């Protein structure tokens, strides 16, 4: 036996092998990560696709250490990632559609709402959903979009513009009652502003129920972790409204402040499916506009078929507009 000889390739890099296994288990069992402490489960699910970037890093380390065990261990995270997101890598779009819809959080601090409205009108969308409309910018959107989308409704901070007739327009209250004893929500929360609406769009193929929603913001707090209380409460209420919808054809457009992997949106995603997942090309990240890392702006459907889904160029907002073509 040679004194000081190096361990064999199967015994090298035990730390790298362990990290690879932990990475794979995290992706496989992300739904089991508890949310009770700092919302860590939702935080992981928000950025879940990016965990795949650790694979080439660990692979480089395994090759440098010449560790066969670490290379084999990497098969777990690779398989888990491909199982979760491999279907998003190809282009699943099909040419042609009966209706084109666009959703855009136009941004409360948008310096050029008129320019944003012109960009959205030029997209060719039949139906436009806008979120985060301020009272100061509302007239700019109404003036510019009236030229191409004569039918519209604005409820609070969300609005819907359409080339097709609208009816049954109404606000949707997604500010649920809250409190440990079921206390009634304060009047100022109820009356402050509306973050969701519902309308019926009349098409040649029949009516479609269109919902526009802007769920509450999320915050990464230095001491409190991932704060999602407002968003989660809104999501639950919106899920209940969708469950009560009688129209078989439903389209939900909006800034949900969460990805479809986030368990907090399960009450919504269990009823509707993502146009991007079904007919997109890639991940379709929409936020932040300068360097998108997550798709929190969603187009979800029920009773219609997505034919294509894509992200539009940046406007004056910190979000990118998202679009989809749907058919009957």
pLDDT at res. 270: 98
Closest CA to 170 of 194, 143, 135: 194
Sign of CA dihedral 151, 303, 168, 233: negative
Specify the CATH architecture of the domain 99-327: 4-Layer Sandwich (3.60)
Give pLDDT, residue 5: 60
pLDDT value for 191: 36
Residue carrying the six token digits 């969603």: 298
Domain ranges of the chain: 14-88, 99-327
Q: pLDDT value at position 205?
A: 93
Q: Read off the pTM.
A: 0.91
- H runs (alpha helix) in the chain: 14-28, 40-46, 54-65, 68-73, 75-85, 113-121, 135-145, 187-192, 229-244, 266-269, 275-279
Rounded CA-CA distance 114/261 in Å is: 34
At 7 the pLDDT is 76
Instruction: Provide the pLDDT for residue 8.
Output: 81
Which stretches in the chain have pLDDT values below 70? 1-6, 176-192
pLDDT of residue 193: 73
Q: Report pLDDT for 210.
A: 98
């Amino acid at each position: 036996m040679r004194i000081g000889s190096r361990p064999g390739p199967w015994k090298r890099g035990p730390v790298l092998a362990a990290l690879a296994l932990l990475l794979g288990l995290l992706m496989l069992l992300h739904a089991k990560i508890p949310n009770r402490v700092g919302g860590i489960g939702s935080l992981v699910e928000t950025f879940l696709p990016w965990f795949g970037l650790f694979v080439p890093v660990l692979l480089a380390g395994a090759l440098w250490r010449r560790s066969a065990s670490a290379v084999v261990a990497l098969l777990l995270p690779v398989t888990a990632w491909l199982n979760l997101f491999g279907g998003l890598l190809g282009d699943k779009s099909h040419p042609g559609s009966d209706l084109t819809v666009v959703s855009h959080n136009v941004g409360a601090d948008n310096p050029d709402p008129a320019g944003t409205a012109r960009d959205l009108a030029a997209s060719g969308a039949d139906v436009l959903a806008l979120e985060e409309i301020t009272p100061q910018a509302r007239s700019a959107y109404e003036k510019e979009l009236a030229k191409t989308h004569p039918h519209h409704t604005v409820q609070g901070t969300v609005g819907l513009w359409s080339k097709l007739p609208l009816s049954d327009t109404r606000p949707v209250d997604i500010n649920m009652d809250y409190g440990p004893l079921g206390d009634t929500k304060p009047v100022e929360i109820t009356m402050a502003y509306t973050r969701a609406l519902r309308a019926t769009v009349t098409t040649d193929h029949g009516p479609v129920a269109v919902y526009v929603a802007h769920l509450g913001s999320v915050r990464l707090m230095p001491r409190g972790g991932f704060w999602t209380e407002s968003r989660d409460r809104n999501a639950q209420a919106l899920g209940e409204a969708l469950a009560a919808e009688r129209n078989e054809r439903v389209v939900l457009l909006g800034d949900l402040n969460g990805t479809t992997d986030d368990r907090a949106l399960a009450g919504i995603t269990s009823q509707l499916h993502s146009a991007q997942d079904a007919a997109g090309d890639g991940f379709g990240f929409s936020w932040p506009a300068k360097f998108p890392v997550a798709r929190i702006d969603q187009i979800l459907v029920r009773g219609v078929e997505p034919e294509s889904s894509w992200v539009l160029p940046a406007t004056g907002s910190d979000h990118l507009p998202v679009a989809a073509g749907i058919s009957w």
